[in-house]
Homo-oligomer: A and B are copies of this chain.
């Protein structure tokens, strides 16, 4: 009976106890099949009874594989990212890896800084709603493994929720209620999504013979809603599409304050179907998508662990379906 060592046992301890070389222990533990079944069993058993735990750092140093991935989000307190975070966390864990979460505070520089800092400690990056330019992202790709969420860049794997078809659903819904024009309360200037959404709105409205106006940009947060609401009112809008639910909720509040009745006087639509969209007043009509699935997919794409059940998309740019959830914030256009 040896004295109970305070430190964790290493492969040396296991090797000695099992009467084999450390290399055999290493193989038995990480590469079974390349070692005799009997020896492997012995090693595993000894490791087990010694309470051996592999040291992830020591493992990562020679191999270069850290079994860790980083998820960068532009704002951890934005409920929009919940689904993404949870999905990514689950899938990372399922792959036996660890997730590092970093908040980039809507700043492309902070994004780059985080990547710089973490490179070397992680196997790859998932960037949600990146604020970097296509070029910056392109340069990063040949230096690091990375996948994108809610952003598409040629040659970079990504998972997004279908904004084009979704926008069509929104516009058709408004048109069916008799609205002849829509106003878009835009998100940040650097936001790829904001540009895409506006683009889609223009395309669909044109096709259906509606008119579209863009206002903003506004901060994609509840506090951005007041200015957006006022601007929309100033335009005499009958229907406004907010860049996201946060902004939409902020607008709802402002309308209430100004005694503008939604949806009697004006209809409001958001994007994302975040936590709260169903219990704000009135409940928000919004475009829902499976963001948790996007989080999972992004990890799969990064780790190369996608199961075969899904057909591989061209260029690994996955587009997830979206659907409009109609609630109380949209109604017939005022006559």
Tell whether, in the assembled complex, residue B121 and residue A57 are in contact, meaning their CB atoms are under 8 Å apart: yes
Task: Output the nearest chain B residue to A113 by Cβ-Cβ distance.
Answer: B93
Counted per complex, copies of this chain come to 2
Tell whether, in the assembled complex, residue A56 and residue B121 are in contact, meaning their CB atoms are under 8 Å apart: yes
Please classify the interface of chain A as helix (H, G, I), strand (E, B), loop, or mixed, using the class held by over half of its residues: mixed
Tell whether, in the assembled complex, residue B56 and residue A275 are in contact, meaning their CB atoms are under 8 Å apart: no
Q: Render A64-104 as a binary contact track against B, CB cut-off 8 A, 1 for contact.
A: 00101000000011010011011001100000001111110
Q: Please measure, in the bound complex, the distance between the C-alpha atom of A49 and the C-alpha atom of B6, giving whole angstroms.
A: 43
Chain A contact patch, size range: 35 or more
Q: Please measure, in the bound complex, the distance between the C-alpha atom of A117 and the C-alpha atom of B56, giving whole angstroms.
A: 9
Q: Please measure, in the bound complex, the distance between the C-alpha atom of A57 and the C-alpha atom of B276, giving whole angstroms.
A: 41
Residues 268-294 (chain A) with a chain B CB within 8 angstroms: 275-276, 279-281
Q: Please measure, in the bound complex, the distance between the C-alpha atom of A86 and the C-alpha atom of B78, giving whole angstroms.
A: 11
Task: Output the nearest chain B residue to A71 by Cβ-Cβ distance.
Answer: B101
Can you spell out 22 A-B residue pairs with CB atoms less than 8 angstroms apart?
A53-B120, A57-B57, A57-B60, A57-B120, A58-B61, A61-B61, A76-B85, A76-B86, A77-B86, A89-B101, A90-B103, A98-B100, A98-B102, A98-B121, A99-B100, A99-B101, A100-B100, A249-B279, A253-B279, A275-B276, A276-B279, A276-B280
Q: Add 19 more A-B contacts to A79-B79, A79-B275 (CB < 8 A).
A: A53-B116, A53-B120, A56-B120, A56-B121, A57-B121, A76-B85, A77-B85, A77-B86, A90-B103, A98-B100, A98-B102, A100-B100, A100-B101, A222-B279, A249-B279, A276-B276, A279-B280, A280-B280, A280-B281
